[in-house]
Amino acid sequence: ERDPYGRFPMEASLAFREGFLLRPIINEYLEIFWHQLVSLWPGLQRKPRQFKTVLSHDVDYPFSQLGIDFSRLLLSCGADILKRRSPESALKRFNAWQAVNKGDYRQDFYYTFDRLMDISEKNNLKSTFYFMTACTDPDYDQPYDISHPYLRRLLRDIADRGHEIGLHPSFGTYQDARQTKAEFHHLLKVCAGEGIRQDIWGGRQHFLRWQAATTWRNWSEAGLDYDSTLTFPEHAGFRCGTCFDYPVYDLKQRRGMSLMERPLIVMEESVIRQDLMGLKGSDIFDFINCLKQTCRKYNGDFTLLWHNSTLVGEELWQLYENLLSV
Tens digit of pLDDT for each residue in 253-279?
Answer: 899 999 999 999 999 999 999 999 999
In a domain, 4, yes or no: no
Longest CA span, the chain: 74
Quick one: pLDDT at residue 41?
Answer: 96
Quick one: pLDDT at residue 292?
Answer: 98
Residues 245 and 103 in one domain: no
Residues 38 and 75 in one domain: no
Higher pLDDT, 218 or 1: 218
In a domain, 36, yes or no: yes
Q: How many domains does the chain have?
A: 2
Report the percentage of the chain scoring pLDDT > 70: 100
Helix (H, G, I), strand (E, B) or coil at 151: helix
Residues 151 and 73 in one domain: no
Tens digit of pLDDT for each residue in 21-80?
Answer: 999 999 999 999 999 999 999 999 999 999 999 999 999 999 988 878 899 889 989 988
Helix (H, G, I), strand (E, B) or coil at 261: strand
Q: What is the pTM of this model?
A: 0.94
In a domain, 3, yes or no: no
- The mean pLDDT value for 174-180 works out to 98
Residues 121 and 161 in one domain: yes
**How far, CA to CA in Å, does 181 sit from each of 134, 138, 174?**
11, 20, 11
From first CA to last CA, the distance across the chain in angstroms is: 38
- The mean pLDDT value for 181-186 works out to 98
Residues 279 and 243 in one domain: yes
State the sign of the Cα–Cα–Cα–Cα dihedral 137, 311, 306, 290: negative
Quick one: pLDDT at residue 300?
Answer: 98
Rounded CA-CA distance 292/263 in Å is: 13
Amino acid code (one letter) for 251: L
Cα-trace Rg, the chain: 21
